[in-house]
Structure 1
Amino acid sequence: MTNYRTFSPSLQHKIDTLKARRESIQLGSIGFDSPLLLAPMSSICTAPYRLLMEQLGAGGTVSELVSCHGINYKNDKTIKMLEIHPLEKNIGLQLFGEDPQAMADAAKFAQDCNPDTPTKFVDINMGCPVRKVVSKGGGSALLKEPVKLGKFFSTIKKELNIPLTIKIRTGWDSDSINAPEVIHIAKEEGIEFVAIHGRTRTQGYSGLASWELLEDIAKLKILPMIGNGDLHSSYMVKERMKQTDCQALMLGRGPLRDPFIFLDSYKTDEDNFHFTPTDHLEVIERFHEYLEDYCDRERTILITLRKNIVWMVAGYPNVTHFRNAMFRAADIKETMAITKEFLTELGESKKQIDHTQTFMAGGHG
């Protein structure tokens, strides 16, 4: 296993200080290091990003959605998506598909990959609203016919000796809010926990997540429940943690622009430190190392690095000029040099992100 660079003593002290305030939780038979988990996001939650977020305070992570048919056809690109880094320890592998036996076969294959991972579970994607997934009967389309879900869950579960979980939405549309019915069926079939995104499929990522509805469902205590939706800042996370009946919260888009959100959510007014531009640079440099270790193609590394850097530096002064320079960079070396120069010159600047502006509303799994 590669020996990665260590964080500076200053950054590591901040990380350790805030990590020490977390409390581990148990959701069914699955343990996590904190109640703040990384949500699965398509083309984002690969092993390098999951590992980075786990090291920056996420209590556990879930992979990007992986096609059961791609697994069963032994497609090399799809199989690569099941890869778990040796340093990851709380990871769910999320599968999508419409056919119960195909899902069961793929789930068994996913289970048998990376057998040494300390905590691993299979998660069924029942929330993706993207047309190419839904049109074939997968993702949130599974919510349309709950009468079929008992067999769907049982067929998959009988092939596994690790836990099975689900991620859903509140319903297909505002006229079919059926999350409680789906969760009751899941409980009967031995599902360990449910994560719920607070929108219907027809909403996509528009409007606001309905936390009032999520809290009403959590109060029913059918299964251990994770709430998900619009937790874009550490302030939002802190406020939700004070009042939620959910056992855990799942953060998706928030960590993309604030890689320290899992830690900052435990920060108090008494703490006399903040995460600086230099801290962000250290995180980007480590992420670069993880990508180099994981990806074979330089082009893939460059594209992934660029988009994540642009997200991570959002909210800093002069970021528009920086973004333009980034996408003119010829290669990885120039990309990293531009990033280092930009973040170093910012000194102790603090981020100011406008969370009222739409961010990634086009869908990500």
Structure 2
Amino acid sequence: MTKALRTPFSSDLQQKIDTLKERQKKIMLGSVEFNSPLLLAPMSAISIAPFRLLMEELGAGGTVSELISCHGINYQNEKTHQMLTIDPREEHIGIQLFGEDPEAMARAALVAQERNPKFIDINMGCPVRKVVTKGGGSALLKETQKLANFFSTMKKDLSIPLTVKIRTGWDEENINAKEVVHIAKEEGLEFVAIHGRTRTQQYKGHANWNILESVACEAELPIIGNGDLHEAHEVRDRMGQTNCQALMLGRGPLRNPFIFLESYLTADDTINFGPKDYFEVITRLYDYLSQYTDRERTLLVQMRKHIVWMAQGFPGVANFRGQIFQTPDLGDTMKFTEDYFMGLDHRTSKSIDHSEAFMTSGHG
């Protein structure tokens, strides 16, 4: 992923990006620096190097990789090691690992460290059955008495910071985020990211920001709040009142890749991002994915899902979505995409019903 870009952003789009990125301020979370307090969340099969790099260009202050199996790393699985890829142009990237055995996690962390991430992150938030039933992800929230050893075992040989992402608890009767944060502080972790749902909620219902704010208010470590930040105005409002030192966005950037930038808009701004801008972003993602893999099937699958997500909310998207999923050829897919986005009026804005379910079956 170091080839020259085939299609740079237009001067108009680049100027809008630069104007809004100038309003961002670098932050330190423990010893880890980020370009802003708005970070991209780890998402399975989504937060790979091409998408992370794109989001950094579009204002994400930092990113975290998709969850990666410690056992896959230790067993020298080729696909798993591909997931460890970091593009040299990524500035603030953490690699997230999952697993139930602290020794196996420690060995995998040393391998991941060789890829030069800024930090290693422990996944204690994934609610997906195949992860939890093996004792990883949010299952680790159930036995907090084991966490001190888990954290210390992973940290002892690392030369870069160790962090963790958790949920508020296993279920409503077992909200223990404050306890986990305290243990993390005692064992020398740098910060804790907290998704505002319990494991039993999966991705349904609503994130409980009252719990997140309560934890952040009393925490001995920097807290990153995560959950239901789907629109720029929600991010902007939360930034203005939160006790969290940073916010993490997951599903929001999938439908609006400009959400990190739009969170810095003011009432006096006339900046807006239209269909042409979206198509430029899609083209840039295609460039990055083409540098990441030469498998056309992988490219097609990745591009399809991102194109459909970014198109959501624009007029005529239902027919366009049907056309995309009936097109087996990558070249035709990109041509249909260009025709759709460039055929919309440049002043067209999106209209998304955020009360409707979106990716509630799990993503990391």
Query: How would you bin the TM-score normalised by the shorter chain?
Result: over 0.9
Residue 155 of structure 2 corresponds to 157
Taking the TM superposition and a 5 Å limit, the aligned residue runs for 1:23-42 are 23-42=25-44
Given candidates 131, 134, 137, the residue that maps to 1:136 is 134
Q: Distance in 1 between matches of 2:132 and 2:107?
A: 21
Aligned to 1:195: 193
Q: How big is the shift at 1:159?
A: 1.8
Contact 2:127–2:138 under 8 Å retained in 1:
yes
Partners in 2 of 1:6 and 1:331 — Cα distance? Answer: 24
Correspondent of 1:302 among 292, 300, 303: 300
The CA distance in 2 between the partners of 1:158 and 1:300, in whole Å, is 38
Q: Within 2, Cα distance between the matches of 1:226 and 1:322?
A: 37
| Residue type at the aligned position of 1:288 | Y
User: 1: CA distance between counterparts of 2:212 and 2:349?
Assistant: 33
Number of residue pairs aligned between Structure 1 and Structure 2: 361
Partner in structure 1 of residue 223 of structure 2: 225
- Quote the residue 2:335 is aligned against: 337
CA deviations 1:58-117 (Å, max 9, x no partner) are 00000000000000000000000000011101001000000000000000000012x3x6
| Superposition deviation, residue 341 in structure 1 | 0.4
RMSD: 0.7
Of 321, 324, 334 in structure 2, the residue corresponding to residue 323 of structure 1 is 321
Residue 183 of structure 2 is aligned to residue 181 of structure 1? no
1:6 matches 2:8: yes
Kindly provide the CA deviation profile for residues 101-134 of structure 1, in whole angstroms up to 9, marking residues without a partner as x.
0000000000012x3x6xx100000000000000
Distance 1:296 1:2 in 2: 13
Instruction: Tell whether the 8 Å contact from 2:181 to 2:219 is kept in structure 1 after alignment.
Output: no
Residue 70 (structure 1) aligned with residue 72 (structure 2): yes
Separation in structure 1 between the aligned mates of residue 172 and residue 207 of structure 2, nearest angstrom: 12
- Kept in 2, the 8 Å contact 1:105–1:159? The answer is no
Residues 280-338 of structure 1 deviation map (CA, whole Å, 9 limit, x = unaligned): 00000010010111013110000000000000111000000100111111311100100
- Counterpart in 2 of 1:46? 48
1:364 counterpart = 2:363: yes
Provide the secondary structure at the position in 2 that maps to 1:243: coil
Q: Compare 54-63 and 328-337 and name the one that shifted more.
A: 328-337
Q: Could you tell me how far apart the structure 1 residues matched to 2:79 and 2:253 are?
A: 25
Q: State the distance in 1 between where 2:172 and 2:65 align.
A: 28
Which amino acid in structure 2 is aligned with residue 94 of structure 1? Q
Q: Post-superposition, which runs of at least 4 consecutive aligned residues in structure 1 deviate over 4 A? A: none
Using the aligned pairs only, state the percent identity: 63
What residue number does 2:103 align with? Answer: 101
1:357 maps to a residue whose letter is: E
Q: Is the Cα–Cα contact under 8 Å of residues 224 and 244 in structure 2 kept in the other structure?
A: yes
Q: How far apart, in 2, do the equivalents of 1:226 and 1:94 lie?
A: 15
- List aligned pairs for 1:189-338, cutoff 5 A: 189-338=187-336
> 2:17·2:261 contact (CA, 8 Å) conserved in 1?
yes
Does the Cα contact within 8 Å between 1:107 and 1:159 map onto a contact in 2? no
Task: Give the unaligned 5+ runs of structure 1.
Answer: none
Q: With structure 2 as the length reference, what TM-score do the two structures score?
A: 0.98
2:93 aligned partner: 91
